[in-house]
Amino acid sequence: MNDLANLFVWRREGVVVAGVTGEIDVSNAAELERAIAAELDDEAAGLVVDLAGLEFMDSSGVHLLFALARRLAQRGLGFALVMPPDTLPRRVLELSGPEPEGWLHATEEEAIAAALAAA
């Protein structure tokens, strides 16, 4: 990964939580996607991507989120995002089209509950 983003991974209630801080753009989106996907072992109950500390995201970041969501759907697992209201990355996602049902949450607790419920 380049110096623009940091990835932190932990588990809560069996859900993999991937916290990304910094920036997601074309220079690091594919590497971030691979790194997050590598954490999705057979024990994972779902995935929450916590973008509360993200400062910037371009369309490559939107593509990364949809690719992860497809991967989880194929496995029958839930997917949710932590994206506080009124942040630039949330605005980029909202401008990219209709909000995927149940993806966006203001807190990690809400997102984990949604990911578990969607599984």
Q: Which residues contact 73 (CB under 8 A, 6 or more apart)?
A: 79
Total Cβ atoms within 10 A of residue 78: 23
Q: Which of 6-15, 28-37, 38-47, 84-93 has the lowest mean pLDDT?
A: 84-93
Nearest to 68 by CA among 92, 87, 44: 44
Q: What is the pLDDT of residues 100-114, one digit of tens each?
A: 777 899 999 999 999
Residue 95: pLDDT band (50, 70, 90) is confident
What residues does each domain of the chain span?
5-57+68-97+109-118
Q: Which residues contact 55 (CB under 8 A, 6 or more apart)?
A: 21, 22, 23, 88, 89
Architecture of domain 5-57+68-97+109-118: 2-Layer Sandwich (3.30)
